[in-house]
Amino acid sequence: MEYRIEHDSMGEMKVPADALWGAQTQRSLQNFEIGTEKMPQEIICAFGILKKAAAMANRVCRPDKMTEEKCAAICRAAGEVAAGALMSQFPLAVWQTGSGTQSNMNANEVIAHRGNALAGKPLLHPNDDVNMSQSSNDTFPTAMHIAAVLALEDRLLPELDAMIDTLKALEEKNKGIVKTGRTHLQDATPIAFSQEISGWRGLLETPRAMLSSALPYLRQLALGGTAVGTGLNCPGGFAEEAAKQVSELTGKAFVSEDNKFHALTSKDATVFAHGALKALAANLWKMANDVRMLASGPRCGLGEIRIPENEPGSSIMPGKVNPTQCEAVTMVAAQVIGNDTTIGLCASQGNFQLNVFMPVIAHCFLQSARLLTDALRSFRVHCVRGIEANEEKMHENLHRSLMLVTALNPYIGYENAAKTAKKAYRENISLKEACVSLGFLTAEQFDEVFHPEEMV
């Protein structure tokens, strides 16, 4: 491999000749050979957005230093980073400095080198130009918030809405079908299948509202706080102008956070938003469990619904088909719940003017958003939209349920109803036979008051 010599404040470094990064990125590569997890692409793209926004803000606030030529070069190069065109130039691990300094410098070096190549001359310096009016301590949390908002608004929420719409259609399709309700894994009073589906829909609509309520906090940006929140080396108006430029570049309403000391050291907005992701994960886990238990069988389980058969379920049992989409959803949910623990612990470890767990917080948050987005799409396309009611099995289970005796409470009382249910179970006879034999109602009276389909 051919190398070139780059230098930083610590001296010279050998860098691959075809790499756009510089000495500080190379030092991080050599010093943090930990794991396989790289800085998320969403963070890299967010850095491209914020570096372009910062250059345009500096052009307004410091036109003597950020010339039109420099601004244009930075904007072109940063635009390529934002579009994901230079991902191969961002090789750093998540497991690096907790402030994300090395990833900030990776962005500065790549944009400077690419900008110089576009300009055809050594026009840009990574620190003096690309990092002008900034610090890693305010750029990394800014990138985190930009990436989080884009991941939620542009990817997760649309998939969530698509699943909600699918469930609405499923509700409408299954109106009029009555089945056995279940509590404590035991038979309970009847429920309409459409009502059960509406419960699944609510499992998604509530965390969606929670996520929406978290977005205003994520739209607040730390940019302008520089090293410790004082804004040292940052001109007046830069923070507000940079937030305005980020908003125009993304089409999202970002603002400059008023209290930069809070913005640099606290990660509460991320904790709050991820709490909503955890709520969604928990609810999806519940829904997936319902689906796979209702579909259990086909002959020795509940068998009340049919789900699409996507692939063979066993290497040894011919004809077996498993609820694999449900299993994938529950594994994703487990990962998200684990990520929530990591994020909460890391957010509690801000010391003085900085939190130094930001890369792993960003990694966990964006992984959760990405996994939930993909799992929702897969679950919807390959399972939920293909759910069909097994009406014959639902009818059979409904009329065998002993908890239909609840309808008799107003006529024979709770204790007599309990005696009826226990006799029916013990002697394996119908509720009607038990009730009549006990003398609580005549056969005619029983038929007059006992209508399971009307109990929903």
The residues annotated with a catalytic role in the active site are: 184, 314
* Cα angle value 381/382/384 (rounded, 5°): 75
* H or E stretch at 301: none
Q: State how far the Cα of 233 lies from the Cα of 347, in Å rounded to an integer.
A: 27
What's the token pair of residue 224?
Answer: 């302008």
Chain centroid to CA 293: 25
Burial of 71 (0-12, 13-18, 19+ CB in 10 A): buried
Q: State how far the Cα of 7 lies from the Cα of 11, in Å rounded to an integer.
A: 5
* H or E stretch at 29: helix 23-31
Q: Is 231 left (phi over 0), alpha (psi -120 to 50) or beta?
A: left
Comparing C-alpha atoms, which of 89, 122, 72 is closest to residue 15?
A: 89
Q: In the Cβ-directed half-sphere of 437, how many Cα atoms lie within 13 Å?
A: 13
